[in-house]
Structure 1
Amino acid sequence: MDQKNAKLGFQLLVIGAFAAISGCSDKNVSGMGLAQPMPAETAAVAVAAAPPARAARSATLAYEHNITVEMDKELLPTRLREIESACNADQASGCTVLDVSLQSHQDLPSGNIRMRLAPASVESIVTLASKDAKVTSRNTRAEDLAEPVADTERQLALMTLHRDRLTEFMKSKDIKIEQLIAVSKELASVQSQIDSLSTQRANLRRRIDTELLTISLSLPQREYVADASPVMDAIRYFGNDFRQAVGTVIRFLAVLLPWLVIILPGLFLLRLFWRWIGRRLARREQTA
Protein backbone atom coordinates (compact mmCIF):
# COMPACT_ATOMS: atom_id res chain seq x y z
CA MET A 1 0.00 0.00 0.00
CA ASP A 2 2.80 2.45 0.86
CA GLN A 3 4.49 1.73 -2.42
CA LYS A 4 1.28 2.45 -4.33
CA ASN A 5 0.74 5.72 -2.45
CA ALA A 6 4.33 6.75 -3.06
CA LYS A 7 3.94 5.92 -6.72
CA LEU A 8 0.71 7.94 -6.86
CA GLY A 9 2.30 10.92 -5.17
CA PHE A 10 5.27 10.72 -7.55
CA GLN A 11 2.91 10.68 -10.56
CA LEU A 12 1.04 13.70 -9.21
CA LEU A 13 4.31 15.55 -8.75
CA VAL A 14 5.38 14.68 -12.30
CA ILE A 15 2.08 15.97 -13.71
CA GLY A 16 2.38 19.28 -11.84
CA ALA A 17 5.98 19.71 -12.94
CA PHE A 18 5.03 18.85 -16.52
CA ALA A 19 2.30 21.50 -16.52
CA ALA A 20 4.60 24.14 -15.03
CA ILE A 21 7.46 23.35 -17.40
CA SER A 22 5.15 23.27 -20.43
CA GLY A 23 3.64 26.63 -19.50
CA CYS A 24 7.04 28.24 -18.97
CA SER A 25 8.44 26.81 -22.17
CA ASP A 26 5.46 28.05 -24.19
CA LYS A 27 5.78 31.54 -22.73
CA ASN A 28 9.53 31.64 -23.29
CA VAL A 29 9.23 30.50 -26.88
CA SER A 30 6.44 32.94 -27.67
CA GLY A 31 8.18 35.80 -25.84
CA MET A 32 11.46 35.28 -27.69
CA GLY A 33 9.66 34.96 -31.01
CA LEU A 34 11.44 31.61 -31.75
CA ALA A 35 9.96 28.56 -33.38
CA GLN A 36 10.98 24.94 -33.11
CA PRO A 37 13.06 23.67 -36.02
CA MET A 38 11.10 21.81 -38.67
CA PRO A 39 12.22 18.95 -40.86
CA ALA A 40 12.76 19.67 -44.54
CA GLU A 41 9.50 17.99 -45.57
CA THR A 42 7.50 19.95 -42.99
CA ALA A 43 9.14 23.21 -44.10
CA ALA A 44 8.28 22.51 -47.72
CA VAL A 45 4.67 21.88 -46.82
CA ALA A 46 4.58 25.14 -44.82
CA VAL A 47 5.95 27.14 -47.77
CA ALA A 48 3.43 25.59 -50.14
CA ALA A 49 0.59 26.49 -47.76
CA ALA A 50 1.59 30.19 -47.43
CA PRO A 51 -1.50 31.72 -49.16
CA PRO A 52 -4.00 29.82 -46.95
CA ALA A 53 -1.97 30.89 -43.90
CA ARG A 54 -2.38 34.56 -44.87
CA ALA A 55 -6.10 34.01 -45.31
CA ALA A 56 -6.32 32.42 -41.87
CA ARG A 57 -4.36 35.34 -40.40
CA SER A 58 -6.89 37.83 -41.78
CA ALA A 59 -9.59 35.94 -39.87
CA THR A 60 -8.04 37.14 -36.61
CA LEU A 61 -8.41 40.86 -37.34
CA ALA A 62 -10.64 43.04 -35.14
CA TYR A 63 -11.98 46.01 -37.12
CA GLU A 64 -12.98 49.44 -35.81
CA HIS A 65 -14.62 52.22 -37.85
CA ASN A 66 -14.80 55.94 -36.98
CA ILE A 67 -17.08 58.06 -39.16
CA THR A 68 -17.91 61.78 -39.01
CA VAL A 69 -21.11 63.03 -40.66
CA GLU A 70 -22.24 66.65 -41.11
CA MET A 71 -25.93 67.53 -41.33
CA ASP A 72 -28.45 70.31 -40.64
CA LYS A 73 -29.30 71.42 -37.12
CA GLU A 74 -32.94 70.25 -37.35
CA LEU A 75 -32.00 66.81 -38.69
CA LEU A 76 -29.23 65.91 -36.25
CA PRO A 77 -31.25 64.88 -33.15
CA THR A 78 -33.74 62.94 -35.27
CA ARG A 79 -31.00 61.13 -37.17
CA LEU A 80 -29.28 60.14 -33.93
CA ARG A 81 -32.51 58.51 -32.69
CA GLU A 82 -32.99 56.80 -36.05
CA ILE A 83 -29.52 55.24 -35.91
CA GLU A 84 -30.09 54.03 -32.36
CA SER A 85 -33.48 52.55 -33.25
CA ALA A 86 -32.07 50.84 -36.35
CA CYS A 87 -29.31 49.24 -34.29
CA ASN A 88 -31.70 48.00 -31.62
CA ALA A 89 -34.04 46.59 -34.29
CA ASP A 90 -31.26 44.74 -36.14
CA GLN A 91 -31.51 41.39 -34.38
CA ALA A 92 -29.87 39.49 -37.23
CA SER A 93 -26.50 41.19 -36.76
CA GLY A 94 -26.75 41.34 -32.98
CA CYS A 95 -26.20 45.10 -33.04
CA THR A 96 -25.60 46.50 -29.57
CA VAL A 97 -25.50 50.20 -28.69
CA LEU A 98 -22.54 50.77 -26.37
CA ASP A 99 -22.78 54.55 -25.97
CA VAL A 100 -24.99 57.36 -27.25
CA SER A 101 -24.86 61.05 -26.39
CA LEU A 102 -26.41 64.31 -27.59
CA GLN A 103 -24.91 67.69 -26.64
CA SER A 104 -26.00 71.25 -27.33
CA HIS A 105 -23.65 74.22 -26.94
CA GLN A 106 -25.02 77.67 -27.72
CA ASP A 107 -27.95 76.04 -29.55
CA LEU A 108 -25.51 74.08 -31.74
CA PRO A 109 -26.20 70.34 -31.32
CA SER A 110 -23.76 67.48 -31.80
CA GLY A 111 -24.15 63.76 -31.27
CA ASN A 112 -22.10 60.59 -30.94
CA ILE A 113 -23.10 56.93 -31.02
CA ARG A 114 -20.94 53.83 -30.65
CA MET A 115 -22.10 50.29 -31.37
CA ARG A 116 -20.87 46.74 -32.01
CA LEU A 117 -22.42 44.74 -34.82
CA ALA A 118 -21.79 42.15 -37.51
CA PRO A 119 -19.59 43.24 -40.45
CA ALA A 120 -22.43 42.81 -42.96
CA SER A 121 -24.55 45.50 -41.27
CA VAL A 122 -21.91 48.24 -41.04
CA GLU A 123 -22.60 49.75 -44.45
CA SER A 124 -26.36 49.85 -43.91
CA ILE A 125 -25.92 51.85 -40.71
CA VAL A 126 -23.44 54.18 -42.43
CA THR A 127 -25.88 54.67 -45.30
CA LEU A 128 -28.63 55.60 -42.86
CA ALA A 129 -26.34 58.05 -41.03
CA SER A 130 -25.27 59.76 -44.27
CA LYS A 131 -28.77 60.12 -45.74
CA ASP A 132 -29.35 63.81 -46.65
CA ALA A 133 -25.97 64.48 -45.02
CA LYS A 134 -22.26 64.47 -45.85
CA VAL A 135 -19.58 62.07 -44.66
CA THR A 136 -16.54 64.25 -43.96
CA SER A 137 -14.18 61.59 -42.63
CA ARG A 138 -14.00 57.82 -42.36
CA ASN A 139 -11.24 55.89 -40.64
CA THR A 140 -10.93 52.11 -40.43
CA ARG A 141 -8.28 50.34 -38.39
CA ALA A 142 -7.67 46.66 -37.67
CA GLU A 143 -5.96 45.02 -34.74
CA ASP A 144 -4.40 41.60 -35.30
CA LEU A 145 -5.40 39.26 -32.47
CA ALA A 146 -3.64 36.18 -33.85
CA GLU A 147 -1.06 36.08 -31.05
CA PRO A 148 -3.47 36.48 -28.08
CA VAL A 149 -5.88 33.96 -29.65
CA ALA A 150 -3.13 31.37 -30.14
CA ASP A 151 -1.75 31.99 -26.65
CA THR A 152 -5.20 31.62 -25.09
CA GLU A 153 -5.89 28.39 -26.98
CA ARG A 154 -2.51 26.98 -25.96
CA GLN A 155 -3.02 27.77 -22.29
CA LEU A 156 -6.58 26.46 -22.38
CA ALA A 157 -5.46 23.15 -23.91
CA LEU A 158 -2.71 22.80 -21.30
CA MET A 159 -5.06 23.52 -18.40
CA THR A 160 -7.68 21.14 -19.78
CA LEU A 161 -5.12 18.35 -20.00
CA HIS A 162 -3.97 19.08 -16.47
CA ARG A 163 -7.58 18.99 -15.23
CA ASP A 164 -8.29 15.66 -16.94
CA ARG A 165 -5.24 14.03 -15.37
CA LEU A 166 -6.12 15.36 -11.94
CA THR A 167 -9.60 13.96 -12.38
CA GLU A 168 -8.13 10.55 -13.17
CA PHE A 169 -6.01 10.70 -10.02
CA MET A 170 -9.09 11.40 -7.92
CA LYS A 171 -10.73 8.19 -9.22
CA SER A 172 -7.94 6.06 -7.78
CA LYS A 173 -8.99 3.89 -4.81
CA ASP A 174 -5.51 3.99 -3.28
CA ILE A 175 -5.37 7.77 -2.83
CA LYS A 176 -5.03 9.07 0.73
CA ILE A 177 -7.19 11.74 2.33
CA GLU A 178 -4.33 14.25 2.39
CA GLN A 179 -3.61 13.60 -1.27
CA LEU A 180 -7.31 13.86 -2.11
CA ILE A 181 -7.53 17.28 -0.43
CA ALA A 182 -4.42 18.51 -2.25
CA VAL A 183 -5.68 17.23 -5.60
CA SER A 184 -9.12 18.79 -4.98
CA LYS A 185 -7.57 22.20 -4.29
CA GLU A 186 -5.39 21.97 -7.38
CA LEU A 187 -8.39 20.88 -9.45
CA ALA A 188 -10.44 23.86 -8.24
CA SER A 189 -7.59 26.22 -9.10
CA VAL A 190 -7.19 24.70 -12.56
CA GLN A 191 -10.93 24.88 -13.22
CA SER A 192 -10.94 28.56 -12.23
CA GLN A 193 -8.13 29.23 -14.72
CA ILE A 194 -10.03 27.31 -17.41
CA ASP A 195 -13.15 29.41 -16.81
CA SER A 196 -11.11 32.62 -17.01
CA LEU A 197 -9.40 31.52 -20.21
CA SER A 198 -12.76 30.49 -21.72
CA THR A 199 -14.15 33.95 -21.01
CA GLN A 200 -11.05 35.55 -22.51
CA ARG A 201 -11.38 33.38 -25.62
CA ALA A 202 -15.08 34.30 -25.98
CA ASN A 203 -14.24 38.01 -25.75
CA LEU A 204 -11.54 37.68 -28.40
CA ARG A 205 -13.91 35.82 -30.71
CA ARG A 206 -16.53 38.51 -30.17
CA ARG A 207 -14.06 41.23 -31.15
CA ILE A 208 -13.14 39.27 -34.29
CA ASP A 209 -16.66 38.25 -35.33
CA THR A 210 -18.13 41.73 -34.80
CA GLU A 211 -16.94 45.24 -35.59
CA LEU A 212 -16.92 48.44 -33.56
CA LEU A 213 -18.62 51.40 -35.28
CA THR A 214 -18.47 54.98 -33.97
CA ILE A 215 -20.48 57.70 -35.72
CA SER A 216 -20.03 61.37 -34.82
CA LEU A 217 -22.75 63.77 -35.95
CA SER A 218 -22.00 67.49 -36.24
CA LEU A 219 -23.13 70.63 -38.04
CA PRO A 220 -21.44 72.02 -41.14
CA GLN A 221 -18.66 74.50 -40.42
CA ARG A 222 -20.59 77.33 -42.06
CA GLU A 223 -23.32 77.08 -39.42
CA TYR A 224 -20.78 77.48 -36.64
CA VAL A 225 -19.36 80.57 -38.37
CA ALA A 226 -22.80 82.05 -39.08
CA ASP A 227 -23.94 81.55 -35.51
CA ALA A 228 -20.82 83.18 -34.07
CA SER A 229 -21.53 86.81 -32.99
CA PRO A 230 -19.30 88.52 -30.39
CA VAL A 231 -21.92 91.18 -29.55
CA MET A 232 -24.76 88.69 -29.13
CA ASP A 233 -22.51 86.37 -27.14
CA ALA A 234 -21.56 89.23 -24.81
CA ILE A 235 -25.23 90.12 -24.27
CA ARG A 236 -26.20 86.49 -23.82
CA TYR A 237 -23.57 85.93 -21.14
CA PHE A 238 -23.83 89.35 -19.49
CA GLY A 239 -25.78 88.06 -16.49
CA ASN A 240 -23.45 85.13 -15.95
CA ASP A 241 -20.33 87.29 -16.24
CA PHE A 242 -21.81 89.87 -13.84
CA ARG A 243 -22.57 87.19 -11.24
CA GLN A 244 -19.07 85.79 -11.55
CA ALA A 245 -17.54 89.26 -11.10
CA VAL A 246 -19.66 89.92 -7.98
CA GLY A 247 -18.65 86.52 -6.63
CA THR A 248 -14.98 87.36 -7.18
CA VAL A 249 -15.36 90.65 -5.25
CA ILE A 250 -17.09 88.86 -2.38
CA ARG A 251 -14.33 86.28 -2.18
CA PHE A 252 -11.73 89.07 -2.16
CA LEU A 253 -13.49 90.82 0.73
CA ALA A 254 -13.84 87.55 2.62
CA VAL A 255 -10.07 87.09 2.42
CA LEU A 256 -9.27 90.77 3.18
CA LEU A 257 -11.55 91.38 6.23
CA PRO A 258 -9.63 89.15 8.68
CA TRP A 259 -6.43 91.01 7.80
CA LEU A 260 -8.05 94.41 8.33
CA VAL A 261 -8.71 93.45 11.97
CA ILE A 262 -4.95 93.19 12.43
CA ILE A 263 -3.74 95.90 10.02
CA LEU A 264 -5.96 98.81 11.18
CA PRO A 265 -5.06 98.60 14.92
CA GLY A 266 -1.43 98.16 13.91
CA LEU A 267 -1.50 101.32 11.81
CA PHE A 268 -3.16 103.24 14.69
CA LEU A 269 -0.48 102.09 17.15
CA LEU A 270 2.26 102.94 14.69
CA ARG A 271 0.87 106.47 14.33
CA LEU A 272 0.82 106.95 18.12
CA PHE A 273 4.39 105.71 18.32
CA TRP A 274 5.60 108.27 15.75
CA ARG A 275 3.80 111.07 17.59
CA TRP A 276 5.49 110.04 20.85
CA ILE A 277 8.87 110.03 19.11
CA GLY A 278 8.15 113.50 17.70
CA ARG A 279 7.23 114.91 21.11
CA ARG A 280 10.41 113.47 22.70
CA LEU A 281 12.57 115.02 20.02
CA ALA A 282 10.82 118.39 20.42
CA ARG A 283 11.41 118.36 24.20
CA ARG A 284 15.11 117.62 23.76
CA GLU A 285 15.46 120.56 21.38
CA GLN A 286 13.72 122.91 23.85
CA THR A 287 15.94 121.83 26.76
CA ALA A 288 19.06 122.19 24.64
Structure 2
Amino acid sequence: MKYAIITLLASAGILAACDGGVGGETPPPAPGIEYAESDAIVVSGSRIRSVPSAPPEEGAAQFLAYSYNAELELPWQRVAEMVRTHEEACFEAGPAVCRVFTSRLEGADTEDAEAYFSFAASRSYMNAFKDGLAAQTEEAGGSVQSFQSEVEDLTREITDTAARLEAKRTLRERLLLLLERDTDDIDDLLEVEREIADVQSEIESTESYLRALRGRVSMDRMTISYEAEWQPVTPRKAQPLAEALQGFVGVVAASLATVITAVASFLPWLLIIVPGLFVLRLLLRSILQRR
Protein backbone atom coordinates (compact mmCIF):
# COMPACT_ATOMS: atom_id res chain seq x y z
CA MET A 1 0.00 0.00 0.00
CA LYS A 2 2.78 2.39 0.89
CA TYR A 3 4.52 1.67 -2.41
CA ALA A 4 1.28 2.39 -4.25
CA ILE A 5 0.93 5.72 -2.42
CA ILE A 6 4.48 6.71 -3.31
CA THR A 7 3.89 5.77 -6.95
CA LEU A 8 0.62 7.70 -7.07
CA LEU A 9 2.09 10.76 -5.39
CA ALA A 10 4.87 10.74 -7.95
CA SER A 11 2.14 10.70 -10.60
CA ALA A 12 0.53 13.57 -8.71
CA GLY A 13 3.77 15.49 -9.08
CA ILE A 14 3.74 14.94 -12.82
CA LEU A 15 0.08 15.99 -13.06
CA ALA A 16 0.87 19.04 -10.97
CA ALA A 17 3.53 19.97 -13.47
CA CYS A 18 0.86 19.60 -16.13
CA ASP A 19 -1.75 21.61 -14.26
CA GLY A 20 0.54 24.48 -13.12
CA GLY A 21 -2.11 26.25 -11.01
CA VAL A 22 -4.64 28.85 -11.92
CA GLY A 23 -3.38 31.84 -13.86
CA GLY A 24 0.31 31.35 -13.05
CA GLU A 25 2.00 28.09 -14.16
CA THR A 26 1.60 26.26 -17.42
CA PRO A 27 0.62 22.88 -18.98
CA PRO A 28 2.94 20.13 -20.26
CA PRO A 29 5.42 20.99 -23.02
CA ALA A 30 4.59 20.67 -26.69
CA PRO A 31 7.07 18.89 -28.96
CA GLY A 32 10.19 20.96 -29.49
CA ILE A 33 9.84 23.00 -26.25
CA GLU A 34 12.47 22.45 -23.56
CA TYR A 35 11.88 22.34 -19.84
CA ALA A 36 12.40 25.53 -17.82
CA GLU A 37 13.63 25.81 -14.26
CA SER A 38 11.12 28.55 -13.33
CA ASP A 39 7.71 28.10 -11.72
CA ALA A 40 8.72 25.03 -9.72
CA ILE A 41 5.87 23.18 -8.00
CA VAL A 42 6.16 21.07 -4.83
CA VAL A 43 3.78 18.09 -4.47
CA SER A 44 4.19 15.68 -1.56
CA GLY A 45 7.83 16.65 -1.21
CA SER A 46 8.79 16.16 -4.88
CA ARG A 47 9.85 19.17 -7.00
CA ILE A 48 8.70 19.05 -10.61
CA ARG A 49 9.80 21.50 -13.29
CA SER A 50 7.14 23.31 -15.33
CA VAL A 51 7.40 24.53 -18.91
CA PRO A 52 5.89 27.26 -21.09
CA SER A 53 2.60 26.40 -22.75
CA ALA A 54 2.44 25.73 -26.45
CA PRO A 55 0.62 28.20 -28.70
CA PRO A 56 -2.92 27.19 -29.74
CA GLU A 57 -3.14 25.00 -32.80
CA GLU A 58 -4.31 26.52 -36.05
CA GLY A 59 -8.02 26.06 -36.62
CA ALA A 60 -8.75 25.67 -32.88
CA ALA A 61 -11.64 27.58 -31.34
CA GLN A 62 -10.80 31.11 -30.24
CA PHE A 63 -12.06 32.79 -27.10
CA LEU A 64 -12.11 36.57 -27.55
CA ALA A 65 -13.29 39.14 -24.99
CA TYR A 66 -14.47 42.45 -26.47
CA SER A 67 -14.70 45.80 -24.70
CA TYR A 68 -15.85 49.21 -25.94
CA ASN A 69 -15.55 52.81 -24.78
CA ALA A 70 -17.72 55.68 -26.02
CA GLU A 71 -17.85 59.40 -25.25
CA LEU A 72 -21.11 61.24 -25.98
CA GLU A 73 -21.79 64.98 -26.06
CA LEU A 74 -25.41 65.98 -25.51
CA PRO A 75 -27.52 69.03 -24.73
CA TRP A 76 -27.41 69.37 -20.96
CA GLN A 77 -31.18 68.87 -20.80
CA ARG A 78 -30.81 65.36 -22.33
CA VAL A 79 -27.89 63.92 -20.37
CA ALA A 80 -29.96 62.52 -17.49
CA GLU A 81 -32.61 61.20 -19.87
CA MET A 82 -30.05 59.36 -22.03
CA VAL A 83 -28.21 57.58 -19.22
CA ARG A 84 -31.49 56.56 -17.59
CA THR A 85 -32.74 55.17 -20.90
CA HIS A 86 -29.63 53.02 -21.30
CA GLU A 87 -29.81 51.82 -17.70
CA GLU A 88 -33.51 50.91 -17.89
CA ALA A 89 -33.00 49.04 -21.18
CA CYS A 90 -30.26 46.94 -19.57
CA PHE A 91 -32.40 46.14 -16.53
CA GLU A 92 -35.35 45.18 -18.73
CA ALA A 93 -33.16 42.77 -20.74
CA GLY A 94 -32.40 40.82 -17.55
CA PRO A 95 -29.13 39.76 -15.89
CA ALA A 96 -28.70 36.83 -18.28
CA VAL A 97 -28.44 39.31 -21.18
CA CYS A 98 -27.25 42.59 -19.64
CA ARG A 99 -25.64 43.49 -16.32
CA VAL A 100 -25.07 47.02 -15.00
CA PHE A 101 -21.70 47.62 -13.33
CA THR A 102 -21.72 51.39 -12.70
CA SER A 103 -24.26 54.17 -13.24
CA ARG A 104 -23.46 57.70 -12.06
CA LEU A 105 -25.15 61.06 -12.78
CA GLU A 106 -23.87 64.42 -11.58
CA GLY A 107 -25.33 67.90 -12.00
CA ALA A 108 -28.65 66.61 -13.33
CA ASP A 109 -30.76 69.21 -15.16
CA THR A 110 -27.92 71.77 -15.14
CA GLU A 111 -25.59 72.91 -17.92
CA ASP A 112 -22.75 71.07 -16.12
CA ALA A 113 -24.53 67.71 -16.24
CA GLU A 114 -22.34 64.65 -16.77
CA ALA A 115 -22.81 60.89 -16.37
CA TYR A 116 -20.95 57.57 -16.52
CA PHE A 117 -22.40 54.16 -17.35
CA SER A 118 -20.67 50.77 -17.62
CA PHE A 119 -22.24 47.38 -18.31
CA ALA A 120 -21.71 43.92 -19.77
CA ALA A 121 -24.05 42.31 -22.26
CA SER A 122 -24.39 39.35 -24.58
CA ARG A 123 -22.79 39.63 -28.01
CA SER A 124 -26.12 40.08 -29.80
CA TYR A 125 -27.36 42.75 -27.36
CA MET A 126 -24.06 44.64 -27.49
CA ASN A 127 -23.91 44.59 -31.30
CA ALA A 128 -27.44 46.00 -31.54
CA PHE A 129 -26.69 48.59 -28.87
CA LYS A 130 -23.47 49.94 -30.38
CA ASP A 131 -24.89 49.89 -33.93
CA GLY A 132 -27.77 52.13 -32.84
CA LEU A 133 -25.83 54.35 -30.43
CA ALA A 134 -24.90 57.03 -32.99
CA ALA A 135 -28.45 57.36 -34.32
CA GLN A 136 -29.88 57.47 -30.79
CA THR A 137 -27.41 60.19 -29.81
CA GLU A 138 -28.15 62.28 -32.90
CA GLU A 139 -31.87 61.96 -32.24
CA ALA A 140 -31.27 63.45 -28.79
CA GLY A 141 -29.46 66.39 -30.39
CA GLY A 142 -25.94 65.21 -29.53
CA SER A 143 -23.01 63.46 -31.16
CA VAL A 144 -20.56 60.62 -30.54
CA GLN A 145 -17.21 62.27 -29.83
CA SER A 146 -15.19 59.05 -29.74
CA PHE A 147 -15.69 55.30 -29.92
CA GLN A 148 -12.97 52.74 -29.17
CA SER A 149 -12.97 48.96 -29.19
CA GLU A 150 -10.50 46.45 -27.75
CA VAL A 151 -10.25 42.69 -27.94
CA GLU A 152 -8.45 40.37 -25.53
CA ASP A 153 -7.54 36.88 -26.69
CA LEU A 154 -8.23 34.45 -23.83
CA THR A 155 -7.89 31.32 -25.97
CA ARG A 156 -4.64 30.09 -24.43
CA GLU A 157 -5.68 30.90 -20.88
CA ILE A 158 -9.04 29.12 -21.18
CA THR A 159 -7.53 26.13 -22.99
CA ASP A 160 -4.74 25.77 -20.45
CA THR A 161 -7.12 26.16 -17.50
CA ALA A 162 -9.46 23.51 -18.93
CA ALA A 163 -6.49 21.15 -19.37
CA ARG A 164 -5.34 21.79 -15.81
CA LEU A 165 -8.84 21.11 -14.54
CA GLU A 166 -9.02 17.80 -16.38
CA ALA A 167 -5.61 16.78 -14.96
CA LYS A 168 -6.78 17.55 -11.42
CA ARG A 169 -9.96 15.52 -11.92
CA THR A 170 -7.93 12.57 -13.19
CA LEU A 171 -5.68 12.79 -10.15
CA ARG A 172 -8.70 12.88 -7.86
CA GLU A 173 -10.11 9.71 -9.43
CA ARG A 174 -6.80 7.90 -8.95
CA LEU A 175 -6.60 8.98 -5.33
CA LEU A 176 -10.17 7.81 -4.70
CA LEU A 177 -9.33 4.40 -6.16
CA LEU A 178 -6.27 4.20 -3.95
CA LEU A 179 -8.38 5.09 -0.92
CA GLU A 180 -10.66 2.10 -1.60
CA ARG A 181 -7.81 -0.41 -1.25
CA ASP A 182 -7.59 -2.48 1.92
CA THR A 183 -4.85 -1.38 4.30
CA ASP A 184 -4.20 -1.31 8.00
CA ASP A 185 -1.79 1.63 7.78
CA ILE A 186 -3.69 4.65 9.14
CA ASP A 187 -0.89 7.01 8.16
CA ASP A 188 -1.24 5.95 4.53
CA LEU A 189 -4.99 6.54 4.59
CA LEU A 190 -4.59 9.95 6.19
CA GLU A 191 -1.97 10.91 3.60
CA VAL A 192 -4.31 9.95 0.76
CA GLU A 193 -7.22 11.80 2.34
CA ARG A 194 -5.11 14.93 2.69
CA GLU A 195 -4.12 14.70 -0.96
CA ILE A 196 -7.77 14.26 -1.96
CA ALA A 197 -8.79 17.32 0.06
CA ASP A 198 -6.03 19.42 -1.51
CA VAL A 199 -6.90 18.29 -5.03
CA GLN A 200 -10.62 18.90 -4.45
CA SER A 201 -9.88 22.44 -3.27
CA GLU A 202 -7.75 23.06 -6.36
CA ILE A 203 -10.52 21.67 -8.59
CA GLU A 204 -13.12 23.99 -7.12
CA SER A 205 -10.82 27.00 -7.44
CA THR A 206 -9.97 26.12 -11.04
CA GLU A 207 -13.64 25.60 -11.92
CA SER A 208 -14.49 29.02 -10.50
CA TYR A 209 -11.69 30.68 -12.43
CA LEU A 210 -12.69 28.90 -15.65
CA ARG A 211 -16.31 30.04 -15.24
CA ALA A 212 -15.09 33.63 -14.82
CA LEU A 213 -13.00 33.39 -17.98
CA ARG A 214 -15.86 31.95 -20.01
CA GLY A 215 -18.21 34.57 -18.61
CA ARG A 216 -15.81 37.28 -19.73
CA VAL A 217 -15.91 35.85 -23.25
CA SER A 218 -19.67 35.33 -23.35
CA MET A 219 -20.48 38.96 -22.40
CA ASP A 220 -18.92 42.06 -23.98
CA ARG A 221 -18.26 45.17 -21.89
CA MET A 222 -18.88 48.86 -22.58
CA THR A 223 -18.29 52.11 -20.73
CA ILE A 224 -20.01 55.35 -21.80
CA SER A 225 -19.23 58.91 -20.74
CA TYR A 226 -21.97 61.53 -21.17
CA GLU A 227 -21.05 65.22 -21.18
CA ALA A 228 -23.10 68.37 -21.69
CA GLU A 229 -22.14 70.22 -24.86
CA TRP A 230 -20.67 73.72 -24.50
CA GLN A 231 -23.10 76.60 -25.05
CA PRO A 232 -22.14 80.30 -25.35
CA VAL A 233 -25.21 81.42 -23.40
CA THR A 234 -26.74 79.37 -20.62
CA PRO A 235 -28.98 80.24 -17.67
CA ARG A 236 -25.99 80.13 -15.33
CA LYS A 237 -23.87 82.36 -17.57
CA ALA A 238 -26.73 84.85 -17.93
CA GLN A 239 -27.39 84.88 -14.20
CA PRO A 240 -25.07 87.85 -13.42
CA LEU A 241 -26.80 90.01 -16.06
CA ALA A 242 -30.23 89.05 -14.73
CA GLU A 243 -29.12 89.91 -11.21
CA ALA A 244 -27.75 93.27 -12.41
CA LEU A 245 -31.04 94.14 -14.13
CA GLN A 246 -32.95 93.18 -11.04
CA GLY A 247 -30.61 95.33 -8.98
CA PHE A 248 -31.06 98.30 -11.33
CA VAL A 249 -34.84 98.20 -11.00
CA GLY A 250 -34.50 97.85 -7.26
CA VAL A 251 -32.17 100.85 -6.97
CA VAL A 252 -34.49 103.07 -9.09
CA ALA A 253 -37.51 102.02 -7.05
CA ALA A 254 -35.71 102.65 -3.78
CA SER A 255 -34.57 106.12 -4.90
CA LEU A 256 -38.07 107.06 -6.07
CA ALA A 257 -39.49 105.91 -2.77
CA THR A 258 -36.99 108.12 -0.95
CA VAL A 259 -38.03 111.16 -3.00
CA ILE A 260 -41.72 110.52 -2.37
CA THR A 261 -41.06 110.14 1.32
CA ALA A 262 -39.11 113.40 1.40
CA VAL A 263 -41.88 115.31 -0.42
CA ALA A 264 -44.49 113.87 1.91
CA SER A 265 -42.41 114.88 4.90
CA PHE A 266 -41.83 118.47 3.63
CA LEU A 267 -45.43 119.17 2.44
CA PRO A 268 -46.89 120.15 5.89
CA TRP A 269 -44.18 122.74 6.33
CA LEU A 270 -45.21 124.44 3.10
CA LEU A 271 -48.56 125.35 4.70
CA ILE A 272 -46.62 127.42 7.24
CA ILE A 273 -43.71 128.68 5.18
CA VAL A 274 -45.75 130.06 2.22
CA PRO A 275 -48.14 132.26 4.27
CA GLY A 276 -45.19 133.39 6.41
CA LEU A 277 -43.26 134.49 3.36
CA PHE A 278 -46.32 136.35 2.10
CA VAL A 279 -46.72 138.22 5.41
CA LEU A 280 -42.99 139.00 5.54
CA ARG A 281 -43.17 140.44 2.04
CA LEU A 282 -46.04 142.77 3.03
CA LEU A 283 -44.13 144.00 6.09
CA LEU A 284 -41.02 144.75 4.07
CA ARG A 285 -43.06 146.68 1.50
CA SER A 286 -44.75 148.74 4.23
CA ILE A 287 -41.43 149.67 5.81
CA LEU A 288 -39.97 150.74 2.51
CA GLN A 289 -42.98 152.94 1.72
CA ARG A 290 -42.66 154.85 5.04
CA ARG A 291 -39.09 155.76 4.32
- Same fold by TM-score, threshold 0.5 exceeded? yes
Q: CA RMSD in A?
A: 3.1
Match of 1:246?
none
CA distance in 2, matches of 1:17, 1:92: 41
Name the counterpart of 1:283.
none
Q: Which residue of 1 aligns with 2:38?
A: none
| Distance in 2 of aligned mates of 1:187 and 1:121 | 43
Higher helix share: 1
CA 1:13/1:76 → structure 2, altered by over 3 Å: closer, same or farther? closer
How far the C-alpha of 1:231 sits from its partner, in A, is 9.7
| Structure-to-structure mapping, 1:78-157, within 5 angstroms | 78-91=81-94, 94-104=97-107, 107-126=111-130, 127=132, 130=137, 131-132=139-140, 133-157=142-166
Instruction: Find out whether 1:70 has 2:73 as its counterpart.
Output: yes
Paired residue type of 1:18: I
User: What is the match of residue 273 of structure 2?
Assistant: none
Question: 2-side partners of 1:21 and 1:62: how far apart?
Answer: 28
Q: Residue 36 of structure 1 is aligned with which of 31, 34, 52?
A: 31
Q: 2:205 aligns with which of 187, 192, 196?
A: 196
Q: Provide structure 1 residue ranges, at least 5 long, that are not aligned to the other structure.
A: 39-48, 236-288
What SS class does the counterpart of residue 149 from structure 2 fall into?
strand
How many residues matched?
209
* Structure with the larger RCO, 1 or 2 (CA within 8 Å, 6+ apart): 1
Change (3 A) 1:175 1:22: farther
Q: Report the Cα distance in structure 2 between the residues aligned to 1:149 and 1:188, rounded to whole angstroms.
A: 24
1:9 pairs, out of 5, 12, 22, with 5
**Cα deviation 1:94-115 (Å, max 9, x = unaligned):** 2010000001297510011100
The letter for the 1-side match of 2:181 is S
Identical aligned pairs, as a percentage?
22
Query: CA separation in 1, counterparts of 2:27 and 2:203?
Result: 22
How big is the shift at 1:174?
A: 2.4
Contact 2:99 2:121 in 1 (8 A): yes
Aligned 8 A contact 1:93 1:121 in 2: no
Query: What's the counterpart of residue 216 of structure 2?
Result: 207
**Which secondary structure does the structure 1 equivalent of 2:76 belong to?**
coil
Q: Counterpart of 2:6 in structure 1: which amino acid?
A: F
CA drift of 1:171 comes to 0.9
CA-to-aligned-CA distance 1:87-133 (integer Å, 9 cap, x gap):
00013852010000001297510011100000111244343652423
CA separation of 1:123 and 1:217: change in aligned 2, threshold 3 A: farther
State the TM-score, normalized to the length of structure 1.
0.64
Distance in 2 (CA, whole Å) between partners of 1:65 and 1:18 is 42
Q: Please say if residues 83 and 125 of structure 1, whose CA atoms lie closer than 8 Å, have aligned partners that are also in contact.
A: no
**Is the 2:66–2:152 Cα contact (8 Å) retained in structure 1?**
yes
Asked if 2 retains the 8 angstrom alpha-carbon contact of 1:86 and 1:125, the reply is no
SS of equivalent to 1:82: helix
Which of residues 180, 183, 204 is equivalent to 2:189? Answer: 180
Q: 1:64 touches 1:142 (CA, 8 Å); kept in 2?
A: yes
CA gap 1:187/1:97 in 2 versus in 1, 3 angstroms: same
| Whole-angstrom CA distance in 2 between matches of 1:69 and 1:28 | 43
Change in CA separation of 1:29 and 1:199 when aligned onto 2, cut-off 3 Å: closer
User: Following the alignment from structure 2 to structure 1, what is the Cα–Cα distance between the partners of residues 220 and 212?
Assistant: 13
Inter-partner Cα distance in structure 2 for 1:175 and 1:118: 56
- Of the two, which has the highest radius of gyration? 2
User: TM-score scaled to structure 2, two decimals?
Assistant: 0.63
